[in-house]
Every structure is written in C-alpha cells, then in structure tokens.
C-alpha cells in the first residue's frame, strides 16, 4: 500500500488547525485520536501534536481474548501509523486478573486502529499523511482547512456526585494502611469516582477547556464509537525509541502558588525533601525497574533520573526516569505482560495490590489509569498514563472522572482526600465547577 505524505512548512499560520482536526476526527469513522504535547520538551523532541482518524482496520480485545492477537495485527500493519489504547481492565487479558465492577463508559479493554488519515506536527513542519489510496494527502489537507469550526458550547447544571462518600473514603484509607502494617503490601494506588448522569456535553468543547486550564505534555482527545476521553495527563507510561525503553512514573504532588514565586519555590523544595513522597516514588521506581528487567537486556536497566521535580500549571510533581535496552524479538504483548498495569497506578507488590484495589474501589477504572498512544511506521511508540481526565458515554450521557493517589503507611487520610481534590481542580473547571 502506498502512503502519501504532504509537507506543510507554515502550518502555524492556521490558527484554527487544532479545532479543525478535533471536529473532523469526530466526523470520520468511529475512532479518532489527538495527542498534544503542548510544547513540553520532555516529550519526543520537537513533536507538537499527532492526529489520526477514520480506521481502515481495527483490533479489539475483550476479556478471554488471546493477547497475541494484537501482535498479529501489529505485524500485519508493520510500516504504518497505528494508534490505540489499553484500558486498566486490560489486566484481565494480560494478567488474567478480572474486573468485578461495572464499567459505565464502555471503552474496549484494548483497541488499536490503522487510521486512514494522520497529521504529525513538529515546530517547523507538518506532515499530512494519507494511508487511504482513495484520498491524496493534498486532498486531505484541503478537507482539514475547509472544516468549519463551531463556537465553544457552554455547560450548565452539572453536579458531580461521589461514588464513595468522604467518610467511606477516609475509612478505606485506614483499611489500606492496616494492610501495609500487616505486610500485605508497601504502597497502593487508591482511586475513587465522581460522576453525573444525563450530562449533555460536547466532548470537543470540554477537552478544549480542560487543556486550556491545564496544558500538560501527554494530553489527548480520544474516541472509540460512543466513548470519549478528554485527558490532560502529565505522565508517560512507556516509550520506545530504537531498542531503548523509557518509563517515567509520577509519585509525589505539591500544590502550586504561581502568583507568589517565593511560596511556589518553597513548595518545590518541600516536595523534593519530603520523606513520604520520596519513599512513595522510590517504591514505584523499584517496581518499574523489576518490570523492565523482564524484557530488557541484562544489566541495561538503570534509573537515569531520580526524584526529578517538574512544574505543571496546577501542580509540582516528582518524576523519575527508568530506561533499559529491549531484548531482541520481544513482542508488544510481552511488553504489556511485563509492565502493565503501570506501577504508578497500582502499587507494590503489583499483583497483591491489584487484588486489594479490586476489593476496596467501587467503580471500574475502565480507560482511567490505562494508556493511549501511537506506534510509528519504524516501530517506535509512546504511551501516556490516563489521569487528570474526563470520560463520557454519548449514548447514556454518563460523565465521570476518577482521582486517586499512592497510599503508604505514612499517608494521612484527610490529606490524601485533599490531594485528590487538588488533582481534580482543572477537571472541575473544564465543566464549569469550582
């Protein structure tokens, strides 16, 4: 199959381009993906955004499916751009660990698609790519430019309700701490859901408001049929560049005071020196090192940055970087089996805390704390961690977000709850809540 490319050097002269791509993506097929780095240098150097729409072929896996079916699909389409997601409950496929809670959004556990249309933007150049033999890259570019952008639609009358009341949340944190005291686990990422039923929203408008309030490096707008993700994630799950794997878990959070520089600087210093946050972070680093050692060449897994402090619009975050050299002939499903779900969204030891998460959480995570990303024609890839996100089913009009954090013996239940609210601040702002 011939893949057509068109290079556009002055794409930044099109002020509505992102809005046009978002709208067009909703009109083409049942899958679309828009991944935006917001010019953070921590993403692939120079990459601005990637857009894909209109599936030409698709691989969907549900519980009970053989994960190697995904390898067969990727091998079939080697040399093409491929996009997709891995939901948290894909653990039932790659780890044989079932989910017992109801999923009210409806993303498939795993889904990857070959898009007919793709746009890859760097700072200096934009590539318009058509993998559809019926549509030239030039024709696709003109279609994008001719897409009319609608005004942002307001949101009225939403009132998000907690699936778990605050008192129950505080009690659960104490139960988790009791498990840690008994030696059942060392750290557990506990999440809880806020939701509203009969929410009539425009997902594109909500996404635009979300990333305006919180433009983070692994943001994405993603659709599969009637399920929508609006995501402002700052976290990378896993990237592959050549034979190098890179994981960058986040553990450690501090509020920002951007209008008070002295106080903001003190927050960063306090985060860096916090024994609680460091212990939380290093536990996940050790878990990721262990995961990567299962698929990387012996002696190549190393921590290239420990306790890095990164600043985002609402928060300072503690991020560590772990890298390794991938062993030869390791398949994508084997990479998932070794590393998914990611340690920052589970805890340690991983399999035991997954049992406890299933016991104490009251909602299916679905795509939340899963991953969205892309695979290049050369076989490299980059996948985020789906956090700081809204999820929506347009058929049932069910809208929700989940928030959580890593619980250790040093955790204080009330402070953990306050941290959850802090992480949700940009999400609430995007849907008109304070």
CA 245 to chain centre: 17
Instruction: Work out the average pLDDT over 62-85.
Output: 96
Least confident of 243-252, 354-363, 375-384, 420-429: 420-429
How many whole angstroms separate alpha carbon 281 and alpha carbon 344? 8
Indicate whether 157 pLDDT > 90: no
DSSP 73: H
How many whole angstroms separate alpha carbon 16 and alpha carbon 35? 16
Instruction: Work out the average pLDDT over 147-157.
Output: 81
Distances from the Cα of 96 to the Cαs of 87, 367, 372, in angstroms? 14, 17, 21
How many whole angstroms separate alpha carbon 338 and alpha carbon 290? 9
Indicate whether 239 pLDDT > 70: yes
State the chain's maximal CA–CA distance in angstroms. Answer: 64
How many whole angstroms separate alpha carbon 367 and alpha carbon 345? 12
Least confident of 154-168, 174-188, 198-212: 154-168
Share of the chain above pLDDT 70, in %: 99
Q: How many CB atoms lie within 10 A of CB 47?
A: 19
pLDDT value at position 314? 87
pLDDT value at position 14? 85
Q: Are 394 and 433 in contact (CB under 8 A)?
A: no
How many whole angstroms separate alpha carbon 29 and alpha carbon 115? 9
How many whole angstroms separate alpha carbon 119 and alpha carbon 28? 14
pLDDT value at position 44? 74
How many whole angstroms separate alpha carbon 285 and alpha carbon 9? 41
Cis peptide bond N-terminal to 318, omega within 30: no
pLDDT value at position 434? 63
How many whole angstroms separate alpha carbon 184 and alpha carbon 178? 9
pLDDT in tens, 301-339: 999 999 999 999 889 999 999 999 999 999 999 999 999
Instruction: Work out the average pLDDT over 378-394.
Output: 97
Q: Are 37 and 239 in contact (CB under 8 A)?
A: no
CA 224 to chain centre: 15
Indicate whether 60 pLDDT > 60: yes
How many whole angstroms separate alpha carbon 83 and alpha carbon 113? 5
pLDDT in tens, 249-265: 999 999 999 999 999 99
* Number of alpha helices (DSSP H) and beta strands (DSSP E) in the chain: 12, 20
Q: Which domains are assigned to the chain? A: 4-430 (3.60.120.10)
pLDDT value at position 432? 85
Indicate whether 1 pLDDT > 60: no
The residues annotated as belonging to the active site are: 235, 251
Instruction: Work out the average pLDDT over 175-181.
Output: 97
CA 319 to chain centre: 15
pTM: 0.96
Q: Are 105 and 358 in contact (CB under 8 A)?
A: no
Q: How confident is the model at residue 427 (pLDDT cuts 50, 70, 90)?
A: very high
177: three-class secondary structure by DSSP:
helix
Instruction: Work out the average pLDDT over 134-138.
Output: 93
CA 111 to chain centre: 14
The chain-wide mean pLDDT, for the chain, equals 94
């Amino acid at each position: 199959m011939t893949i057509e490319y068109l290079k556009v050097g002055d794409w930044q002269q099109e002020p509505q381009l992102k809005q046009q791509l978002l709208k067009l993506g909703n009109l083409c097929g049942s899958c679309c993906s828009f991944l935006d780095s917001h010019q953070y240098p921590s993403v692939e150097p120079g990459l601005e955004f990637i857009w894909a729409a209109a599936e030409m072929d698709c691989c969907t896996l549900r519980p009970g499916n053989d994960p190697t079916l995904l390898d067969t699909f990727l091998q079939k389409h080697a040399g093409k751009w491929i996009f997709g997601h891995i939901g948290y409950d894909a653990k039932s496929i790659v780890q044989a660990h079932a989910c017992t809670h109801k999923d009210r959004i409806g993303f498939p556990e795993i889904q990857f698609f070959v898009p007919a249309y793709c746009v890859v933007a760097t700072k200096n150049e934009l590539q318009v790519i058509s993998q559809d033999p019926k549509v030239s890259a030039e024709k696709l570019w003109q279609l994008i430019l001719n897409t009319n952008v609608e005004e942002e639609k307001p949101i009225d009358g939403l009132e998000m309700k907690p699936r778990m009341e605050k008192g129950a949340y505080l009690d659960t944190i104490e139960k988790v701490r009791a498990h840690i005291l008994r030696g059942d686990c060392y750290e557990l990422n506990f999440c809880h859901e806020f939701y509203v039923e009969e929410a009539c929203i425009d997902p594109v408008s909500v996404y635009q408001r979300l990333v305006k309030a919180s433009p983070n490096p692994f943001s994405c707008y993603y659709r599969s049929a009637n399920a929508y993700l609006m995501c402002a994630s700052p976290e990378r799950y896993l990237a592959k560049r050549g034979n190098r794997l890179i994981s960058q878990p986040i553990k450690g959070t501090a509020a920002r005071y951007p209008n008070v520089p002295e106080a903001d600087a003190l927050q960063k210093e306090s985060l860096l020196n916090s024994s609680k946050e460091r212990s939380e972070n290093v536990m996940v680093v050790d878990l990721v090192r262990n995961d990567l050692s299962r698929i990387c060449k012996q002696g190549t897994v190393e921590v290239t940055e420990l306790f890095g402090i990164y600043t985002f619009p609402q928060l300072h975050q503690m991020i560590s970087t772990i890298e390794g050299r991938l062993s030869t002939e390791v398949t994508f499903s084997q990479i998932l089996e070794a590393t998914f779900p990611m340690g920052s969204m589970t805890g340690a030891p991983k399999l035991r805390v997954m049992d406890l998460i299933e016991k104490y959480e009251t909602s299916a995570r679905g795509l939340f704390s899963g991953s969205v990303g892309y695979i290049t024609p050369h076989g490299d890839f980059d996948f985020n961690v789906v956090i700081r996100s809204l999820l929506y089913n347009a058929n049932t009009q069910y809208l929700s977000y989940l928030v959580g954090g890593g619980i250790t013996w040093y955790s204080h239940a009330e402070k953990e709850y306050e941290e959850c609210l802090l992480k949700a601040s940009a999400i609430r702002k995007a849907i008109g809540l304070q």
